[in-house]
Structure 1
Amino acid sequence: MRKKVWMSLALTMAVTTMSLGLVGCGSSANSDTAASSNEETNVASSSTEEATVAGAQKSESGEKVELVFMGWEASPLETQAVKDGIAAFEAQHPNITVSYTPGLAGSEYNAKILSSAAAGALPDVMFVSSESYRQIAAAGALMELTDKFDENYSFDDFIESSRTIMDIDGHIYGISSCTVSPIVYYNKDVFDAAGVPYPSSDPAKCWTIDEFRDVAKSLTTDDVYGVYGMESVADTLNAQILSNGGTRYNADFTKSTMDTPEVKEVLETIKAIRVDDGSAPDSSTLDAVGMSAAQMLETGKVAMLVDGSWSLQELAASGMNIGMAPLPSYGKVLTTGQAHLHAISSTCAHPEEAWEFLKFLSGMEYQGALCKTGLWMPNRYSMYEGDQLEGWYDEKVHGDSYKLMLDYFKDAAVDPGAIQKSAQARDIIKEETDMFFKMDQDIDTTVKNIDSRIDEAIKEAMSK
Structure 2
Amino acid sequence: MKSRLALFLVTIMIFSLVLTGCASKDSSTDGGKDGVVTLKFMGWEASPLETESVKKGIQKFEQDHPNIKVEYTPVPGDQYASKLLTMMAGDAPPDVFFLGSADYRSFQKRGVLLDLTTYFENDLSIDDFIPSSAGIMQINGSVYGVSSCTVSPVLYYNKNIFDEAGVPYPPSDPSKAWTWEEFEEAANKLTKKEGDKVSQFGAYGFENFANTVMAVMENSGVIFNDDYSETKINSNETKKVLESILSLKKNGLSPEAKLLEESGMSASQMLQTGKIAMLVDGSWALQELSKMDFPVGVAALPKFEKAVTTGQAHVHSAAAKTKHPEEAWEFIRFLSSEEYQIDLISEGLWMPNRVSLYSEDGITRWFNESVHPDGFKELVPYFQDATVDPFAINEKIEVRDIMVEELDKFWYDGQPADSVLTSIEDRVNKELAK
Partner residue in 2 for 1:41: none
Residue by residue over 1:329-352, the C-alpha shift from the partner in whole angstroms, topping out at 9 and shown as x without a partner, is 110111110001000111111111
For these two proteins, the number of residue pairs brought into alignment is 402
State which of 100, 108, 117 in structure 1 corresponds to 2:72: 100
* Aligned residue runs from structure 1 range 152-167, under 5 A: 153-167=124-138
Whichever of the two has the greater Rg, that structure is 2
Mapped to 2, the partners of 1:456 and 1:128 lie a distance apart of 26
State which of 67, 83, 86 in structure 1 corresponds to 2:58: 86
State which of 198, 205, 225 in structure 1 corresponds to 2:201: 225
Residue by residue over 1:82-103, the C-alpha shift from the partner in whole angstroms, topping out at 9 and shown as x without a partner, is 1111111111101101111111
Mapped to 1, the partners of 2:248 and 2:200 lie a distance apart of 14
Partner residue in 2 for 1:181: 152
State which of 330, 337, 351 in structure 1 corresponds to 2:325: 351
Mapped to 2, the partners of 1:350 and 1:152 lie a distance apart of 18
Partner residue in 2 for 1:244: 219
Change (3 A) 1:60 1:344: closer
* Aligned residue runs from structure 1 range 63-74, under 5 A: 63-74=35-46
Q: Give the deviation of 1:245 after TM superposition.
A: 0.8
State which of 130, 141, 151 in structure 2 corresponds to 1:170: 141
Partner residue in 1 for 2:6: none
Aligned-partner residue type, residue 431 of structure 1: E
Contact 1:162–1:179 at 8 Å: present in 2 too?
A: yes
* Aligned residue runs from structure 1 range 258-273, under 5 A: 258-273=233-248
Mapped to 2, the partners of 1:69 and 1:367 lie a distance apart of 17
* Aligned residue runs from structure 1 range 54-453, under 5 A: 57-59=29-31, 63-106=35-78, 108-150=79-121, 153-222=124-193, 223-233=199-209, 235-275=210-250, 277-453=251-427
Aligned-partner residue type, residue 292 of structure 1: S
Aligned-partner residue type, residue 437 of structure 1: W
**Is there any run of 5+ residues in structure 2 with no aligned partner, and where?**
1-27, 194-198
SS at match of 1:425: helix
**Is there any run of 5+ residues in structure 1 with no aligned partner, and where?**
1-55
Q: Give the deviation of 1:417 after TM superposition.
A: 1.2
Mapped to 1, the partners of 2:67 and 2:284 lie a distance apart of 33
User: Which sits farther off after the overlay, 423-432 or 86-95?
Assistant: 423-432
Q: Give the deviation of 1:132 after TM superposition.
A: 0.8
Contact 2:297–2:374 at 8 Å: present in 1 too?
A: no
Mapped to 2, the partners of 1:325 and 1:382 lie a distance apart of 23
Contact 2:32–2:38 at 8 Å: present in 1 too?
A: no
Mapped to 1, the partners of 2:297 and 2:237 lie a distance apart of 30
Change (3 A) 1:169 1:90: same
Partner residue in 2 for 1:3: none
Q: Give the deviation of 1:247 after TM superposition.
A: 1.2
SS at match of 1:449: helix
Residue by residue over 1:250-286, the C-alpha shift from the partner in whole angstroms, topping out at 9 and shown as x without a partner, is 11112222111111111111101111x2100000111
Change (3 A) 1:191 1:400: closer
Question: Structure 1 length normalisation: TM-score?
Answer: 0.83
| Identical positions, percent | 47
Residue by residue over 1:32-82, the C-alpha shift from the partner in whole angstroms, topping out at 9 and shown as x without a partner, is xxxxxxxxxxxxxxxxxxxxxxxx954466611011111111111111111
Residue by residue over 1:269-328, the C-alpha shift from the partner in whole angstroms, topping out at 9 and shown as x without a partner, is 1101111x2100000111111111100000111000000001111111113111111111
Mapped to 1, the partners of 2:362 and 2:415 lie a distance apart of 50
Kindly report the root-mean-square deviation, in angstroms, between the aligned alpha carbons of the 2 structures.
1.7
Question: Structure 2 length normalisation: TM-score?
Answer: 0.89
Contact 1:117–1:136 at 8 Å: present in 2 too?
A: no
